[in-house]
Amino acid sequence: ELSSLHGGVLGGALRSGKLKIGDEIEIKPGYSVKRQNKIIYQTVKTKIVSLQKGNHKITEALPGGSLAIETELDPSLTKSDSLSGCICSTPGTLPEITESIKIKFSLFDSFYTDEKEEKVSALKASEPLMLSVNTSTTIGLVTKIKNDEAEIALKIPVVPLKGDSIGIARNVKNHWRLIGFGEII
């Protein structure tokens, strides 16, 4: 029956503000589309149909705890975590999607492999790194380094919120090892 159909559901945590049933939201970076042999990301706009915290349906959500947001989206857009790593907000309030970020970072003194403890060496220009930004994971190449700041070109774009924490991993013997942390500046 038509009444049993549901829209796509987003899961996550509300960091600030409030959401209520009927609110319009935008989702960035959104879903990927291949055009002229290039992958671009399409921002998605939709409305909130229902909200749920745990087993409880609610009409308004405030920060804290996990949240499920049923939307008017076609469920095929949200299946298999295809929007994982995205951020949703009131339309027009998020920064633009970017393929480059500037970070302030700190490296650990050492990390552990299966065999031993190893010293963390300094970041190098053109070095590939794996970055965890919010719930998004992307590979980036270091394009510029100055003291404890770096600019990184990203393979998968992110929505950079100033002050967001990031995890930094380096590929060591075909394994990604956490070597430091930082924040978007």
Task: Name the least confident of 83-87, 122-126, 173-177.
Answer: 83-87
Per the structure, the count of domains in the chain is 2
One domain, residues 57 and 120:
no
CA distance 83 to 87: 9
Please list, in sequence order, all residues whose beta carbon lies within 8 angstroms of the beta carbon of residue 74, skipping any fewer than 6 positions away. Answer: 7, 8
φ, ψ (nearest 5 deg) of residue 147: 55, -120
- Which amino acid makes up residue 180? G
Please list, in sequence order, all residues whose beta carbon lies within 8 angstroms of the beta carbon of residue 106, skipping any fewer than 6 positions away. Answer: 148, 180, 181, 182
Q: What is the mean pLDDT of residues 114-128?
A: 93
- Whichever domain contains 67, its CATH number is 2.40.30.10
Last residue of a domain, one of 37, 63, 89: 89
CA distance 178 to 35: 34
- Whether pLDDT at 1 is above 70: no
Percent of all residues in the chain with a pLDDT value above 90, rounded to a whole number: 75
Please, what is the average pLDDT of the chain? 93
One domain, residues 81 and 141:
no
- Which amino acid makes up residue 59? T
One domain, residues 80 and 133:
no
**If you ran DSSP here, which 8-state letter would residue 107 be given?**
E
Last residue of a domain, one of 34, 55, 89: 89
CA distance 38 to 72: 28
> What is the predicted pLDDT for the residue at 70?
96
Last residue of a domain, one of 89, 123, 142: 89
C-alpha distance from residue 168 to each of 34, 74, 86 (Å): 28, 34, 19
The model's pLDDT over 5-41, given as tens digits with 9 standing for 90+, comes to: 789 999 999 999 999 999 999 999 998 888 898 888 9
Beta strands in 126-174 (DSSP E): 128-133, 136-146, 149-158, 165-172
- Whether pLDDT at 136 is above 70: yes
- Whether pLDDT at 4 is above 80: no
Pull the structure tokens for residue 41.
Answer: 């990301």
> What is the predicted pLDDT for the residue at 10?
94
- Whether pLDDT at 2 is above 90: no
- Whether pLDDT at 155 is above 80: yes
Range of the domain at 76: 2-89
One domain, residues 77 and 156:
no
